[in-house]
């Protein structure tokens, strides 16, 4: 990687708080676990139903993994600017217009996150009056994902606002590695 590529990567790392990098890694791991668990529980549900001996509790496991996977994924994607982020609009602008657009977008995301926290918590409290069958666990166990995700999204959005205000929102894309540039797929690889 050339010097300019290293400088761009350093700048992009500077736009994130390193203290939250560990949390991001945990969220990404949880996304993988929930996706794998969801897939396995759906397959197991299908197999047990075809065998004529359905495990009814698998539907609860599947729905729980699906819901938590979605809301954890929202938070992880917010940290990575992969979701809830209108890149095409903001990246087409420069200077003060870009800063205004970036701040407006993040203010909207922050408002949505705070609504998720407030109304999600209210739903969580009401969820203790309804129960999931066949386990009779309160449905609040599902609703807990909403305010948790909202809090994480709000945290990551505040991080982006603070870092963008301090360092600017504009950053160049990293240059491709020289080894990648030297590779020509049409030319067969030469071996000694």
10-51, pLDDT tens digit by residue? 445 555 667 789 999 999 999 999 999 999 999 999 999 999
Task: Give the pTM.
Answer: 0.76
The structural domain count of the chain equals 1
Q: Is residue 41 part of a domain?
A: yes
Q: Is the pLDDT of residue 84 over 60?
A: no
Distance (Å, whole) CA 112 – CA 179: 43
Q: pLDDT digits over 119-164, tens only?
A: 999 999 999 999 998 889 999 999 999 999 999 999 999 999 998 8
Quick one: average pLDDT of 80-90?
67
Residues of the domain holding 92: 3-170
Q: Is residue 191 part of a domain?
A: no
- Tokens representing 16 are 């994130």
Contacts of 60 (CB under 8 A, 6+ apart): 132, 134, 135, 137
Stated length of the chain: 192
Q: pLDDT digits over 157-183, tens only?
A: 999 999 888 888 765 454 555 544 555
């Amino acid at each position: 990687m050339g010097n300019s590529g290293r400088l761009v990567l350093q700048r992009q790392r500077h736009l994130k708080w390193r203290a939250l990098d560990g949390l991001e890694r945990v969220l990404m791991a949880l996304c993988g676990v929930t996706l794998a668990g969801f897939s396995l529980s759906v397959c197991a549900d299908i197999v047990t139903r075809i065998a004529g001996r359905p495990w009814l509790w698998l539907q609860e496991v599947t729905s729980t993994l699906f819901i938590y996977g979605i809301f954890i994924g929202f938070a992880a994607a917010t940290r990575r600017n992969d979701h809830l982020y209108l890149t095409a609009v903001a990246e087409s602008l420069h200077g003060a217009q870009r800063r205004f657009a970036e701040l407006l977008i993040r203010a909207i995301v922050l408002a949505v996150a705070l609504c998720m926290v407030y109304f999600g918590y209210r739903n969580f409290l009401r969820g203790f009056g309804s129960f999931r069958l066949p386990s009779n666990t309160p449905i609040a166990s599902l609703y807990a994902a909403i305010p948790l995700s909202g809090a994480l999204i709000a945290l990551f959005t505040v991080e982006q606002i603070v870092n963008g205000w301090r360092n600017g929102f504009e950053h160049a894309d990293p240059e491709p590695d020289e080894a990648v540039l030297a590779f020509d797929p049409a030319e067969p690889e030469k071996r000694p």
